[in-house]
């Protein structure tokens, strides 16, 4: 894995990247990930892998929507843009019924 990449989402059962996050992008999304991990107990296995099921995607979309609804868009523009882009990727795969696999660095 590229050392600048923190997290890769693959289409389920493939090695085709659906989305990649650099370490700086991952930091921008930290409020979502921390909320998700805390409420779901969602952590990677010892190899850095975890399936990202459709139910996980729905919950993450709700968290992204809640963040976007309460964010001060002017004060935290970069984080809000990153969360909305991430939300778009999730909505796209969810609408198609595509579960994903995650790999952390």
pLDDT at 105: 65
* Residue 9 CA to its chain's centroid (Å): 8
Give per-residue pLDDT as tens, 38-59: 877 787 788 888 888 889 889 9
Give, as one character, the DSSP assignment of residue 14: S
Give, as one character, the DSSP assignment of residue 100: E
pTM listed for this prediction? 0.80
Give per-residue pLDDT as tens, 62-95: 988 888 888 777 778 888 888 889 999 999 999 9
pLDDT at 72: 75
Domain coordinates in residue numbering, the chain: 23-104
Report whether 66 contacts 87 (CB < 8 A).
no
């Amino acid at each position: 894995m590229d050392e600048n990449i923190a997290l890769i989402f693959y289409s389920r059962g493939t090695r085709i990247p659906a989305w990649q996050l650099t370490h700086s992008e991952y930091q921008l999304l930290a409020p979502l990930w921390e909320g998700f991990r805390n409420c779901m107990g969602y952590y990677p296995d010892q190899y850095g892998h975890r399936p990202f099921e459709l139910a996980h995607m729905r919950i993450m979309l709700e968290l992204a929507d809640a963040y976007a609804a309460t964010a001060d868009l002017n004060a935290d523009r970069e984080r809000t843009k990153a969360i909305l882009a991430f939300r778009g990727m999730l909505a796209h795969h969810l609408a198609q019924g595509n579960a994903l696999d995650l790999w952390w660095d």
